[in-house]
A and B are shown apart, each in its own frame.
Chain A
Amino acid sequence: MIRKFIGVAFVALMATGSAWAADVKPAIVYGTGGKFDKSFNEAGFNGSEKFKAETGIDYKDFEPQNDTQGEQAIRNFAKRGFNPVVALSFAWTDAVAKVSKEFPETQFVLVDSVVDAPNVRSVVFAEDEGSYLVGVLAGLKSETKKVGFVGGMDIPLIRKFGCGYVQGAKAAGATEVFQNMTGTTGAAWNDPVRGGELAKSQIDQGADVIYAAAGATGLGVLQTAVDAGKLGIGVDSNQNHLHPGKILTSMVKRVDVAVHNAYADVKDGKFTAGTQALGLKEGGVDWALDDNNKPLVTDEMKAAVEKAKADIISGAVKVHDYMTDEKCPS
């Protein structure tokens, strides 16, 4: 049956030479933060590259400068027969909702937000759970029992990171968690200098472990923490290697896996629509342990964080999700 279908597709390809016959022709539209942010968008890029390396199937990508271009690019990809089309930001929620209706044959993947449509797969991550774990590590590692959090733009998603982190740190004995957001414009994702300033002020107040969830701004946060002899915590991608031995851990959010799976599922004909909520249980978020940070993590810390992880998975510990009521208990 499938063989027959492929045969038909092949004939169609020969006959029209047009785009439709290509079974998998992946395309990805990044967020306005840009492809090489060493964090969220770059994880999407890495997932795409991995797929390309494995299968030899090339993909096309686009970095929009503004919101209008995002929708335009998503539509252009769909129009030119790309499938699946991955939209890598909550900012494209309405765009995907609109375009997925216009192209019911195309499969769309939306990361970080939800659109309920028969041809859209929405992938959301439990950043609160992952942040809780790195919060536990921060709370245990801190000598002053004061830890810091530097967010990017002050939006609900980043508050969700901060909220999970606070809960984890407090559960592990931190007495104070300093929280700062870098800014209120898109520039907040790409302002390492200001990120560094915020980290410095938190260090001056006594913080000795600082978690950055701020895109490229986080690079400045980590640099400052390391320069001051303190510890940083990376985000989204595994950033432990940026300053070996000085980054306590990273909260990894497997955007790369989500993107890679989307391509692979379409290729294998296993694509499913609907919402995928990826938490600790599903391996969507986690804390990073590798050779770079091994010396920093003692066996007790490792045991404690693994216990917290097991408790969250089993439901014994409930991490409050900021998005549910837009409040954070503390």
Chain B
Amino acid sequence: MSVPLGTLPRWVNFGLLPLINVAVAFALSGLVVLFIGENPIEAVKYLVAGALGDGEGIAFTLYYATNFIFTGLAVAVAFHGGLFNIGGEGQVYLGGLGVAFAALTLDRYMPWYVTAVFATAAAFAFGAAWAFIPAWLQAKRGSHIVITTIMFNFIAAALMVYLLVNVIKQPGNMSPQTRLFEEGGQLPKLGWLMQVFGLDIGAAPFNVSFLIALVAALAVWLLIWRTRFGYEIRTMGTNATAAVYAGIPYVKTVVITMLISGGLSGMMALNPVMGDAGKLQIDFPAGAGFVGIAVALMGRSHPVGIIIASILFGVLYQGGAALAFDMPNISREVIILIQGLVILFAGALEHMFRPALIVLFAPKPKSVAASSAGAA
């Protein structure tokens, strides 16, 4: 018998299935922790307490989540159009250049909210510009976007190191970085938001870009499901040939989709550059561009799913650091292993439990018509 077909109820598809995947990933991680000779229950306690135990932990978790929301949305938008953008890392890096230009130019003259507007626009523009060439090559020349975007990550790294080391480095500083932005070039922390819930933000760099990320998530939802262009993107993603036959311009759609995707990646730079470090430095994306892929896969390319998945990865990042801090036997390599297992089960092995769940939960054939009408 082949894999049973059927549509799962939404709560199973978006709730139960990811939960099972994450649970299995954690169970396996527990075995690894046991193997190292530590108590897995204890480890989970440290992880959860570190990420969600106090205001500062939660704020750190949300700080990391902010990064992943941006890059996750970027991957999702491209994915709806059938494009696999794995150039997030490079687009973020270039976005940081845009943020730094805006902040370094305006921080002495303008309040932060004026700078932020320009920085956001510049981040979007720089990220989008970095995605433009791969998009154009895909649309016009058929060069596969997976290959070109990943190559562009390396070009971005080389370009940024060149610029930081040779051009915009603050003279006399050991570390290749720009000068620190003045107050007008830094995004304020969201201490007040934490206070609403009676929590103390502590020293966490949780900042306004989290709100910008939420707005971006809403905008992506509107774009994909409520606009004509979003419909064109989805049509192209489902069947490019049919889309062209239906009169949707292929080149234009590919290029604009990728520009939006690259721009969203670029906007991530707001968080670490303007919200945390207050300077542009080497290697600031630190892999967030790649985590975005996992987040988008896990969140089923839906903004709500992406936000939830981002918070989960925020927990893994922050909780993982706390775990490595309190349990010296658990090195950062083990933390990366745990993160990898979550990605493996939530992303790559997503279909492992699906058939069983379909048998259990899919509506019986007689109600197929009703449920497929309800499915989006």
Contacts and interface: CB of A to CB of B under 8 A. Distances in A.
Interface stretch (B75-83, B172-180, B226-234, B367-375): B172-180
Contacts of B284: 67
B328 to A, nearest CB: 7
Contact of B328 (A61, A65, A112): A61
Nearest to A325: B171
Interface stretch (B1-9, B106-114, B187-195, B271-279): B271-279
Contact of A186 (B64, B283, B317): B283
Interface stretch (A12-20, A90-98, A132-140, A200-208): A90-98
B279 A94 contact: yes
Given A68-B205, A185-B157, A113 B175 contact: yes
Given A62-B325, A93-B175, A184-B158, A67 B283 contact: yes
Interface in A77-129: 90-91, 93-94, 102, 112-114, 124
Contacts, number: 89
Contact of B180 (A94, A154, A326): A94
A46 B248 CA distance: 64
Contacts of B321: 64-65, 69, 72-73
B214 interface: no
Contact of B277 (A60, A61, A67): A67
Contact of A63 (B165, B175, B177, B331): B331
Contacts of B154: 184-185
Nearest to A112: B174
Q: How large is the interface on B (under 10, 10 to 19, 20 to 34, 35 or more residues)?
A: 35 or more
Q: How large is the interface on A (under 10, 10 to 19, 20 to 34, 35 or more residues)?
A: 35 or more
Contacts of B205: 68
B287 interface: yes
B60 interface: yes
Given A65-B335, A93-B173, A156 B277 contact: no
A68 B161 contact: no
B169 interface: yes
B174 A323 contact: yes
A73 to B, nearest CB: 7
A323 B176 CA distance: 12
Contacts of B175: 90-91, 93-94, 113, 155
A64 B282 CA distance: 15
Contacts of B286: 65-68
Contacts of A155: 161, 165, 175-176, 282
How would you classify the secondary structure of chain A's contact residues: helix, strand, loop or mixed?
mixed
B318 to A, nearest CB: 9
Contacts of A63: 324, 331-332
A183 B272 CA distance: 23
A215 to B, nearest CB: 14
A31 to B, nearest CB: 11
Nearest to A186: B283
B18 to A, nearest CB: 24
Interface string A46-71: 00000000000000111111111100
A153 interface: yes
A76 B277 contact: no
A34 interface: yes
Contacts of A72: 60, 203, 321
Contacts of A66: 286-287
A120 to B, nearest CB: 14
Contacts of B272: 67-68
Nearest to B60: A72
Question: Which of the listed residues A60, A63, A68, A323 has the most CB atoms from chain B within 10 Å of its own CB?
Answer: A68
A91 B164 CA distance: 14
B165 A68 contact: no
A157 interface: yes
Interface in A1-50: 32, 34-35
A309 interface: no
A141 interface: no
B338 to A, nearest CB: 12
Contacts of A114: 174
A253 interface: no
Contacts of B335: 65
Contacts of B63: 68
B310 interface: no
Contact of B174 (A62, A154, A157, A186): A157
Contacts of B171: 326
Interface in B135-167: 154, 157-158, 160-162, 165
A124 B173 CA distance: 12
Contacts of A112: 174
Contact of B325 (A35, A76, A154, A186): A76
A112 B174 CA distance: 8
Given A63-B332, A69-B321, A90 B174 contact: yes
Contacts of B332: 34, 63-65
A254 interface: no
Contacts of B165: 154-156
A64 B172 CA distance: 26
A246 interface: no
A146 interface: no
A90 B180 CA distance: 16
Contacts of B283: 32, 67, 185-186
B292 to A, nearest CB: 15
Contacts of A326: 171
Interface in A172-214: 183-186
A319 B157 CA distance: 32
A72 B318 CA distance: 10
Given A113-B174, A153-B282, 20 more contacts: A61-B328, A62-B325, A63-B331, A65-B320, A66-B287, A67-B277, A67-B286, A68-B64, A68-B205, A68-B272, A93-B175, A94-B175, A102-B203, A113-B175, A124-B174, A155-B175, A155-B176, A184-B160, A184-B161, A185-B161
24 contacts: A61-B328, A63-B324, A64-B321, A65-B320, A65-B335, A67-B277, A67-B281, A68-B205, A68-B272, A73-B321, A90-B174, A90-B175, A93-B175, A102-B203, A124-B174, A153-B161, A153-B282, A154-B165, A155-B282, A156-B169, A156-B174, A183-B157, A184-B154, A186-B282
List 3 tightest A-B contacts by C-beta distance, closest first.
A66-B286, A184-B161, A90-B174
